[in-house]
């Protein structure tokens, strides 16, 4: 029987980290299924889903732990399930405006208070072209329970946008699907 593991990885950003991970996983009968990897502030970090036969999981976990000798820190956890999640619709959101403390916190509180799951979040700090003022942007994807009133949510996000002097947009993807129970 095959077991899925979710790995979180962090190391200094340097050539060969992905190769080392891939070789370690393959050497222990594992399969690299999916991942999100990124470079940020001189570090390389990521999250991966790998699968391996039950008899290989313990050896794979030990081998991943041993990568610390190469300054690659890996935490391996059994993959979770989506059991118990209510039916959901998928939405995306964007936020853009002058940078200031609390933007992510305010948006996250509004979503979490309605049991909305943030599946993906990408943020960026930059400067406005002419003024050089700090600019914050965020994009994300959400699982919104079908019980959530989208008009109420939009109104709450508009209130936050007004208070923080930013723009927040919530959109249902063009290829919206039937409500999902999936939770990755």
**Residue 129 structure tokens:** 């072209």
pTM: 0.80
Task: Please report, for the chain, the start and end positions of each structural domain, with discontinuous segments joined by +.
Answer: 2-78, 88-171
- For residues 112-123, give the mean pLDDT: 96
* Fold (topology level) of 88-171: Alpha-Beta Plaits (3.30.70)
Candidate from 43-47, 57-61, 79-83, 151-155 with smallest mean pLDDT: 79-83
- Is beta strand 2-12 parallel, antiparallel or unpaired with respect to 166-171? unpaired
Report d(CA 2, CA 78) in Å as an integer. 11
How much is the pLDDT for 175? 62
How much is the pLDDT for 81? 78
DSSP 76-138: EEE----TTPPPEEEEEEEEEEE--TTHHHHHHHHHHTTT-EEEEEEEEEEE-TTT--EEEEE
Q: Can you list the alpha helix ranges (DSSP code H) found in 84-168?
A: 103-112, 150-164
Is residue 181's pLDDT more than 60?
Answer: no
Per DSSP, 180 falls in state B
- Is it true that 2-78 and 88-171 share their CATH fold? yes
pLDDT digits 0-9 by tens, 126-173:
998 888 899 999 999 999 999 999 999 999 999 999 999 999 999 997
pLDDT digits 0-9 by tens, 23-37:
999 999 999 999 999
Is residue 183's pLDDT more than 60?
Answer: no
**CATH of 2-78 given 3.30.70.260, 3.40.50.300, 3.30.465.10, 2.120.10.30:** 3.30.70.260
């Amino acid at each position: 029987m095959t077991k899925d593991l979710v790995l979180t990885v962090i190391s200094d950003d340097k050539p060969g980290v992905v190769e080392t991970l891939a070789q370690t996983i393959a050497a222990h009968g594992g399969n690299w299924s999916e991942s999100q990897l990124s470079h940020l502030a001189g570090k390389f970090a990521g999250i991966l889903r790998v699968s391996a036969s039950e008899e290989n999981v313990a050896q794979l976990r030990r081998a991943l732990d041993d990568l610390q000798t190469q300054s690659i820190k890996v935490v391996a956890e059994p993959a979770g399930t989506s059991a118990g999640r209510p039916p959901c619709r998928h939405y995306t959101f964007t936020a853009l405006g002058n940078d200031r403390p609390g933007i992510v916190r305010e948006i996250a509180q509004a979503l979490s208070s309605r049991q909305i799951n943030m599946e993906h979040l990408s943020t960026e700090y930059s400067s406005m072209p002419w003024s050089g003022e700090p600019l914050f942007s965020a994009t994300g994807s959400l699982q919104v329970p079908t019980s959530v009133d989208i008009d109420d949510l939009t109104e709450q996000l508009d209130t936050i946008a007004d208070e923080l002097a930013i723009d927040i947009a919530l959109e249902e993807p063009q290829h919206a699907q039937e409500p999902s129970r999936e939770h990755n």
